[in-house]
Amino acid sequence: MAHQNQNGTVTSLTRQGQSNSSGDVRALYLKLFSGEMFKGFQHNTIARDLLMKRTLKNGKSLQFIYTGRTTSEFHTPGKPILGNSDGAPPVAEKTITVDDLLISSAFLYELDEVLAHYDLRSEISRKIGYALAEKYDRLAFRAVTRGARQASPITKANFVEPGGTQIRVGSTTNDSDAYGATNLVNAFYDAAAALDEKGVSSDGRVGVLNARQYYELIQQVGENGLVNRDAQGTSRQKGNGIVEIAGIKIYKSMNIPFLGKYGTAYGGTTGVADPGNTGSFVSVTPEDASGAQTGINNDYGTNSELGAKSCGLIFQREAAGIVEAIGPQVQVTKGDVSVIYQGDVILGRLAVGADYVNPAAAVELYVGASAPSAF
C-alpha cells in the first residue's frame, strides 16, 4: 500500500493483515482468528462426529424419518403384489428445530493489544471455540440421555419397536459404583447385548464416560484382554475412541450428565474427594434446558428431570440427530466501528439443535435402585 509522508515522499507499506497488498487491511487476521476458534471448537467437541449431523438451509427444522421393521410372507400364485398385507413397514417422523443463535464474544481494546507481550486475539479466539463446543456437547448428550428413557416412536399395533435402555452400574446404593472398573465392564457388555437384541447396528457404537471413570477403567482392565490390545502407550490415555470394550469405542468427556453435575461429582457417596481449587467451571450443576427456556426450541430437560443418578452414555450414531443451520463461525468488527470504539469485538457463533431419533440406539448408565424417569 502506497503512503505519502509529510515530505511528499511516497513509500510502500507492508500491511500484514492485507491479502496481496489490497483490500481490507485486516482480512488475514480474521482468517487467523477463525482458525484458532475452529481449533478450539474441534478439539473440545466429540458429539459432532458421533451422532447424525445434517446441515439445514432455508428452514427452521429438519425431519428425520424413522422406519420400523417389515416382515416377509409367501406369495400366493396369481395374487397381485401390492405391498405386505399387514401394511409394514410403519414409518414415524422426528422433527428437530434449530435453537436460537448461540454466541460467545469478547471486546479487545486496541491499546491493550499494543501493550501486551502475547497474542491476545488467538488465545481469546480459542477460548470462544471452547465455550461453543462445551454447550454443543452438553445439549447433544442430554438429547441422547432423553432418548435412552423413551419408548419407540413407532406405535403401530403389532409393530412396536424397541425403545431406549437404562443399565444399572453396580449393585449398591452408593454413587461410588459409577467408578468401579468391573461394574463398568459388566455394564458395557450388558449394553452391547441389549443393542444386539434390539437390532441396532454395530457400526458406530461408542461409550462416553467422565475422565475418572475412563482412567479407572484403563488402569484396571487395560492389560487383561478386555480392551483393544492395539492401543499402546500414551494413545490409551487420550480417551478418543482408541480403547474398546465389546466393540464399543470409549471416549471421555466433561460434558455428560453425571450424578447431578456436568462431567464429575465430588463428595457424598462418590468416594471421590474434591481435589481443591477447581474453580467455577468444574462439577457444574446442569442448567434448565427445556423448551420453555429462552433461546431453546427443543427439549433437553430441566435439571430435576435429568436427575442425579446418570453416570455415562453408550449409543450408536442413530440415537440422536444434530441439525446445524450455522456451523461454527467467527465475525470481527472492522472499519468505522473499530475506529469509534478503538478496538474490535470477536464473535463466535453457532445455530444448532439436537434431539433423540432412535431410542433403541441409546443406553444410559445409572447408579442406585431406580432408573431415572423419562422426560
Average pLDDT score over the chain: 87
User: Bigger pLDDT: 285 or 221?
Assistant: 285
When pLDDT is cut at 50, 70 and 90, the band that residue 3 belongs to is very low
User: Bigger pLDDT: 299 or 23?
Assistant: 299
Long-range pairs for 279-285 at CB < 8 Å and ≥24 separation? 282/254, 285/260, 285/261
Position 73 scores a pLDDT of: 85
CB 248 within 8 A of CB 188: yes
Q: Average the pLDDT over 334-341 and give the result.
A: 83
Position 36 scores a pLDDT of: 74
CB 28 within 8 A of CB 16: yes
pTM for the whole thing? 0.85
Q: Is 368 left (phi over 0), alpha (psi -120 to 50) or beta?
A: left
Position 363 scores a pLDDT of: 98
Selection from 205-209, 234-238, 275-279 with the highest mean pLDDT: 205-209
Q: Average the pLDDT over 181-190 and give the result.
A: 96
User: Bigger pLDDT: 135 or 34?
Assistant: 135
| Rounded CA separation 286/302 (Å) | 8
User: Bigger pLDDT: 84 or 234?
Assistant: 84
When pLDDT is cut at 50, 70 and 90, the band that residue 51 belongs to is very high
Cell numbers standing for residue 301? 430437560
Q: Are strands 310-316 and 248-252 parallel, antiparallel or unpaired?
A: unpaired
Position 84 scores a pLDDT of: 83
- Domain segments of the chain: what residues? 27-70+89-366
Cell numbers standing for residue 32? 487467523
Place of cell 455394564: 187
Position 239 scores a pLDDT of: 54
Q: Average the pLDDT over 314-338 and give the result.
A: 91
| Rounded CA separation 141/135 (Å) | 10
User: Bigger pLDDT: 220 or 68?
Assistant: 68
CA distances (Å), origin 258, targets 65, 165, 253: 30, 17, 10
Phi first, then psi, for residue 244 (nearest 5°) are: -130, 145
Write the CATH number of the domain with boundaries 27-70+89-366: 3.30.2400.10
Tell me: the pLDDT tens digits for 136-152?
A: 999 999 999 999 999 99
| Rounded CA separation 250/247 (Å) | 9
User: Of 208-222, 228-242, 264-278, 290-304, which range is least confident?
Assistant: 228-242
Going by the DSSP 8-state scheme, the letter that residue 293 receives in this structure is S
Position 34 scores a pLDDT of: 62
| Rounded CA separation 197/258 (Å) | 27
Whether residue 13 is predicted with pLDDT greater than 50 in this model: the reply is no
Tell me: the pLDDT tens digits for 157-182?
A: 888 899 999 999 999 999 999 999 99
Q: Average the pLDDT over 105-113 and give the result.
A: 87
Tell me: the pLDDT tens digits for 261-309?
A: 999 999 999 999 999 999 999 999 999 999 999 999 999 999 999 999 9
Whether residue 241 is predicted with pLDDT greater than 70 in this model: the reply is no
Position 35 scores a pLDDT of: 66
The b/e string for 85-96 (b: 16+ C-beta within 10 A; e otherwise) is eeebbbebebeb
pLDDT > 90 in the chain, percent: 62
When pLDDT is cut at 50, 70 and 90, the band that residue 230 belongs to is low
With a CB cutoff of 8 Å and minimum separation 6, the contacts of 364 are 144, 145, 148, 149, 164, 165, 166, 167, 310, 312, 313, 371, 372
Phi first, then psi, for residue 288 (nearest 5°) are: -70, 125
